[in-house]
Amino acid sequence: MAVTVSIPTILRSHTGGQKSVEATGETVLEVIDDIESRHSGIKARLVKDDKLHRFINVYVNDEDVRFAGGLEAKVSDGDTVTILPAVAGG
């Protein structure tokens, strides 16, 4: 499954400044592993103790993966995966 992953400013040091990268995988975790294979160090910023970092939100087509299986959430061909730091609203 090929997906487009949008990278937040704070993590672009890992992607050579790229705002989005292409990746493959069946699940969010596989997508992250695939990005890590080309952009070493990014996984450690996203995943802690086999769970998403507390201040990182990941969305597959705008839906928060924490409510769709977490790191095991499925992705489909052509999906957009968005990574964002958690910030205050309200």
Cβ 11 vs Cβ 81: under 8 Å: no
45 binds another protein (CB under 8 A): yes
Identity of the residue, 37 or 86, whose beta carbon is nearer to another protein in the bound complex: 86
In terms of CB distance, is 63 or 72 closer to another protein? 63
Count how many Cα atoms sit within 13 Å of the Cα of residue 85 in the half-sphere of its side chain. Answer: 8
For residue 17, count other CB atoms closer than 10 A to its CB. 9
41 counts as binding another protein under rule CB under 8 A: no
In whole angstroms, give the CA distance from residue 66 to residue 17: 27
Q: Binding string, 1-40, against another protein, x = CB under 8 A?
A: -------xxx------------------------------
